[in-house]
Structure 1
Amino acid sequence: MTTILVTGGTGTLGRLVTERLRAAGHEVRVLSRHAQPYAVDLRKGGAGLDAAVDGVETVVHCATNQTGGDRKAAENLVAAARRAGVRHLVYISIVGVDRVPFPYYRAKLAVEQMIEESGLGWTVLRTTQFHDLLVRLFRALAKLPVVLLPAGVRDQPIEVAEVAERLAELAAAAPAGRVEDMGGPETRTFESFARAYLKSTGRRRPVVNVPLWGRAYRAFREGGHLVPERAVGKGTFEDCLAGRKS
């Protein structure tokens, strides 16, 4: 079986990818800032990163940081992968990174382009946002007396376990370039998802839709982050909520 390195292997997605790859019989190394023996800050690189990729055939790059640093992390990872002779680099990206001028999306698009031009065998999968992201968002918003939401925005969240399954399949296969996007099963208003969360947690809060401004907000309103023609996800937001306590 293949020796595979999963960056961000202790995170929401990376942990599930690691589990599936190991269940399939692969030798899996987990890289994160605090997971021994491959505790590496990708933004800094160094000898620890070289040791992590040494002897690895495939890298699944799940590590990301919404506060910045993804470009530098990818630059260091690609350089180390080249030195080690890695044959396949699999990257998880987001639907709409080429349509929504949001800083985090722009960084993800830049990483996609870096990987495509790396000279390595590569696969890029774009998905819509995970259910978990909406849950974290609504949990934070529900701490206030009023839940304030961006007016006119719809979303299409997907179950992270389904994405992990797909990434594990791609990691075990040959480099495939940009593969078909994965979208969640339903496209609904933010308000609809927020009310479902409030109901499931027994919280009573007024929900207010607030018009915002800017190019990124306009792109979200226009559905640049959606892929209704690829609504391949099975698990709904309500399914996700049913498995949670808060």
Structure 2
Amino acid sequence: MTTILVTGGTGNLGRLVTERLRADGHEVRVLSRHAQPYAVDLRTGGSGLDAAVAGVDTIVHCASAYRGDERAATNLLAAARRAGVGHLVHISIVGVDQVPFGYYKSKLAVEKLVEESGLGWTVLRATQFHDLLFMLFKTLAKPHVMVLPAGLRDQPIDVSQVADRLVELATAAPAGRVADMGGPEVRTFDSLARAYLKATGRRRLVMGLRLPGRTFRAFRAGGHLAPERAVEKGTFEEYLAGRLGEGRQG
């Protein structure tokens, strides 16, 4: 039986990866800042991290934050080398090498750390999850006028499909940089926002605002999209129907 450590194992993605791996019969350890017995802040590391990786065959690195990702990865990789871990699977984002957004730059730096770690490694890039757009639109819909960045498109994907793919990769040999994953549709931001408004019963005036700068030019150019790697199912409307049908608030 394979022992697998999932970092960020209590998050939306990590939780699903953990459930699937356990259902397949693997011994899974969950590492996060508050998950006992492996409550570890990767940004500081320490003896708790060494205990978490001891005897582990594979690490699935799902933990991420807007600050400290590079330090966290450095600590995790060092501990993995000390423990003789054979394979590290890392989830990244489509466009980290195309869009000069601060968070994307950090994710790209983590990819390079993984590639140069000396470990067996696999990196998967995916487009944005439906959940992120849902929370963004929830915030933008609070005023009576919903202001969106003009000219943007997105290709949201269901987190469960990414979890399925990570499980496949974690239970296989190291594969390096694998093919990207994108949602089934490339959509305008406007159409996605209106789908959210319709599903939640909100009535808002939707306006586009053209934002300046290199980052938004890159987003408008589609640097974060992967239309040639689209999955076959899981539209934003289907996600909304499932989420709101479960009685959660929009």
Q: TM-score range by the shorter chain?
A: over 0.9
- C-alpha distance in structure 2 between counterparts of 1:127 and 1:146, whole Å: 31
**How many aligned positions are there?**
245
Aligned residue number for residue 198 of structure 2: 199
Q: What does 1:72-87 align with in structure 2 at a 5 Å threshold?
A: 72-87=71-86
Alpha-carbon separation, structure 2, partners of 1:115 and 1:4: 17
Give the match for residue 111 of structure 1. 110
Secondary structure of the residue that 1:14 maps to in structure 2?
Answer: helix
1:159-174 equivalences under 5 Å are 159-174=158-173
The normalised TM-score by structure 2 is 0.97
Provide, for residues 71-130 of structure 1, a one-character-per-residue CA deviation record: whole Å limited to 9, x for no partner.
000000000000000000000000000000000000000000000000000000000000
Structure 1: which 5+ residue stretches go unaligned? none
Q: Which residue number in structure 1 is paired with residue 247 of structure 2?
A: none
How much does 1:145 deviate?
1.5
Instruction: Indicate yes or no: 2:79 matched with 1:64.
Output: no
Aligned to 2:138: 139
Q: Deviations over 1:149-169 (max 9, x none)?
A: 100000000000000000011
Query: 1:192, 1:215 → 2: CA distance?
Result: 24
Question: What is the alpha-carbon root mean square deviation over aligned residues?
Answer: 0.6
Is contact 1:128-1:182 (8 Å) kept? yes
1:24-35 alignment to 2 at 5 Å?
A: 24-35=24-35
Q: In the alignment, does 2:118 pair up with 1:122?
A: no
Please tell me the residue identity of whatever aligns with 2:52.
A
Q: How much has 1:232 moved relative to structure 2?
A: 1.7
Q: After superposition, where does 1:1-246 map in structure 2 within 5 Å?
A: 1-66=1-66, 68-245=67-244, 246=250
Unaligned runs of 5+ in 2: 245-249
Aligned-partner residue type, residue 52 of structure 1 = A
Cα shift at 1:244: 1.8
TM (normalized to structure 1)? Answer: 0.99
Distance in 1 between residues matched to 2:4 and 2:184, nearest whole Å: 30
Q: CA deviation digits over 1:18-57, x for unaligned, max 9?
A: 0000001000000000000000000000000000000001
Matching residue's letter, 1:120: L
Deviation at 1:138, TM superposition (A): 0.4
- Deviation of 1:233 (Å): 4.5
Structure 2: how far apart are the matches of 1:38 and 1:221?
41
